[in-house]
């Protein structure tokens, strides 16, 4: 039996476009001789649909789409993910389901048994877990159909009390098919493959895995759909960060006639770069925008953001605005201009001096003889934010926020100023990783000026300012932040690791007392295992470590 793996970039709630893509994949699969085409988890609705699932009209549209797909299955079968209604009086109103369609009929419905409710996942908010697990019989093959998390309850620390694949294995299947919506982080491909291989090794069955690709606001999906034979040999792997379709001959996989291939193992930084480019491109495309605007400071954060945006949208669609003040250095302006020239993107200079002076004069009666402090620094940042948002509104461009994760973590940013934006590109990238991205960008050709990379980071909001005046060196800061945010290490554990106790207390206090700023930040493209946003839910008013 020939099986097509259809790896598609779905758009949540865009039923017409999603249906068109499904049709195209079915037709392409037929032309390649496939007898079954497999789509991803919740393909019809897009993932994650969140509270759209609470609308009956949304669920009705999902089922109208399924009925339309069924009409195309005269000469081919389809497995596809869709939310279905729970007909029982008790329990949640929906299931996260996969349907098997053949000969223009919905032959069977298979409900996801394990519902992830952690980090970015919140499936038990909407779905009832399935408790019956049945085999699909098709073309003399018995298929164990599972949905994403159904294969993840394996290993030494199970999260759930049941294992759907154990139940399906009792029915002696010939292969496993897993349809998934597995969000990207830079370790996810390795983690995912390890989990899938554990299933292959446990059940001694070939495994066909189909994942989403594309960005859904902050969640990025890397694709990487694949096929393992029952010995754990990789016999097919689809592209990363791109739509793709491949047909495999199941009999050849079962009979070990398919050649084992080497898996693609890109570097962490290249994965992050490709994910961010895809994230920016999809955010604009799915919102119907084409042009981006950002502040170009001559610093490394804005430079890396500009390059990513130009790669995603085309340099002609990027507008970089230089907004010097009395504290801006000449080399920062020159570095920003050189970057724009290297990218061949539009750039303009708008001085904030007159507006800053006017604002100070308007407040002189209240400020009187009070000394210059962070207030005046924030005024400059907010003036820049006003200018950028005005241009964004007037010319229909999305403002890209350029803050990095290190700054966001400790609140080193100005609300309604440099924290403005419709999308945060680097908000899940530590400052040390931003430097690595800059070097990666320049690996073949010098795009980011060398001075931008080697000079000391500075907000340039007061004379001779350096980030190190307010923060420890980023190589130390980022280690503490990573251990606390990603690995959830306690203060005592951090001190045992060799970090100075006073510094640990100071940094953790900054992280926890500036939650209110992150709560008002733009959506952040997620590339790590613990990003700020939907996957990290902290109270704003709290006393812990503050």
Just list the catalytic residues: 41, 112, 148
Residue 113, SS3?
A: coil
Closest CA to 217 of 395, 434, 60, 13: 13
Closest-CA residue to 388 (of 290, 315, 283, 302): 302
Answer whether 438's CB lies under 8 Å from 414's CB. Answer: no
The CA dihedral of 245, 232, 173, 138, to the nearest 10 degrees, is 20
Which two structure tokens, joined as six digits, stand for 258? Answer: 């398919």
Give the H or E element holding residue 273. Answer: helix 268-287
Pair 238, 209: CB distance under 8 Å = no
The length of the chain in residues reads 546
Give residue 187's region: left, alpha or beta (phi > 0; psi -120 to 50).
Answer: alpha
How many Å apart are CA 57 and CA 66, to the nearest integer? 14
Q: Which two tokens stand for residue 67?
A: 């009925």
- Beta strands at 244-249 and 2-7: parallel, antiparallel or unpaired: antiparallel
**Cβ neighbours of residue 29 under 8 Å, at least 6 residues apart?**
4, 6, 37, 76, 245, 247
165, two tokens: 């694949």
- Which helix (H) or strand (E) segment holds residue 31: the answer is helix 15-31
* DSSP three-state, residue 411: coil
293-332 residues labelled b (16+ CB within 10 A) or e (exposed): bbbbbbbbbbbbbbbbbbbbbebebbbbbbbbbebbeeeb
Measured CA to CA, the distance from residue 470 to residue 200 in angstroms comes to: 51
Burial class from Cβ neighbours inside 10 Å (0-12, 13-18, 19+) for residue 518 reads buried
User: How far is it, in rounded angstroms, from Cα 74 to Cα 58?
Assistant: 27
Rounded-to-integer distance, Cα 321 and Cα 330, Å: 15
- 532, 428 contact by CB (below 8 A): yes
Cα 103 from Cα 150, distance rounded (Å):
28
* C-beta neighbour count of 512 within 10 angstroms: 18
């Amino acid at each position: 039996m020939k099986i097509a793996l259809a790896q598609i970039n779905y758009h949540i709630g865009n039923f017409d476009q999603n249906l068109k893509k499904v049709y195209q994949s079915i037709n392409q699969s037929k032309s390649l001789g496939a007898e079954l085409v497999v789509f991803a988890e919740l393909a019809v609705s897009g993932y994650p649909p969140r509270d759209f699932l609470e609308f009956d009209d949304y669920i009705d549209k999902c089922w109208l789409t399924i009925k339309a797909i069924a009409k195309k299955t005269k000469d081919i079968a389809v497995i596809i993910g869709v939310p279905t209604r729970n007909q029982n009086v008790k329990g949640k109103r929906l299931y996260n389901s996969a349907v098997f369609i053949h000969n223009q009929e919905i032959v069977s419905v298979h409900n996801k048994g394990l519902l992830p409710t952690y980090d970015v996942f919140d499936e038990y908010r909407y779905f009832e877990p399935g408790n019956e697990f049945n085999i699909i019989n098709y073309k003399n093959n018995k298929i164990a159909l599972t949905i994403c998390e159904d294969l993840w309850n394996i290993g030494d620390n199970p999260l759930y009390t049941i294992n759907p694949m154990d139940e399906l294995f009792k029915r002696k299947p010939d292969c496993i098919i897993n349809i998934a919506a597995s969000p990207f982080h830079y370790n996810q491909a390795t983690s995912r493959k390890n989990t899938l291989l554990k299933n292959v090794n446990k059940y001694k069955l070939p495994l066909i895995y189909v994942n989403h690709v594309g960005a859904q606001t902050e969640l990025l999906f890397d694709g990487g759909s694949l096929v393992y034979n029952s010995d754990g040999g990789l016999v097919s792997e689809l592209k990363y960060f791109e739509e793709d379709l491949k047909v495999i001959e199941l009999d050849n996989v079962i009979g070990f006639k398919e050649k084992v291939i080497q898996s693609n193992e890109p570097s962490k930084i290249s994965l992050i770069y490709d994910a961010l480019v895809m994230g920016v491109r999809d955010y604009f495309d799915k919102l119907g925008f084409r042009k981006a605007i950002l502040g170009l400071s001559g610093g490394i954060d804005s430079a890396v953001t500009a390059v990513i945006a130009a790669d995603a949208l085309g340099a002609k669609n990027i507008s970089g605005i230089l907004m010097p003040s009395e504290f801006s250095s000449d080399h920062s302006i020159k570095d920003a201009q050189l970057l724009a020239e290297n990218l061949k993107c539009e750039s303009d200079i708008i001085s904030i001096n007159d507006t800053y002076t006017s604002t100070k004069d308007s407040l002189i009666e209240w400020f009187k003889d009070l000394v210059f402090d962070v207030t005046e620094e924030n005024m400059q940042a907010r003036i820049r934010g006003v200018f950028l948002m005005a241009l964004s509104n007037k010319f229909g461009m999305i403002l890209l926020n350029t803050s990095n994760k290190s700054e966001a973590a400790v609140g080193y940013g100005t609300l309604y100023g440099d924290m403005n934006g419709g999308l945060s590109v680097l908000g899940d990238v530590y400052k040390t990783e931003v430097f690595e991205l800059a070097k990666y960008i320049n690996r073949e050709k010098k795009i980011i000026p060398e001075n931008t990379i080697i000079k000391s980071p500075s907000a340039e909001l007061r004379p001779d300012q350096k980030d190190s005046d307010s923060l420890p060196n980023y190589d130390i800061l980022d280690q503490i932040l990573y251990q606390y945010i990603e690995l959830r290490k306690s203060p005592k554990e951090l001190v045992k690791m060799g970090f100075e106790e006073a510094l640990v207390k100071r940094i953790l206090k900054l992280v926890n007392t500036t939650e209110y700023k992150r709560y008002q930040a733009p959506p952040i493209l997620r590339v790590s295992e613990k990003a700020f946003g939907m996957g990290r839910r902290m109270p704003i008013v709290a006393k812990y470590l503050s």
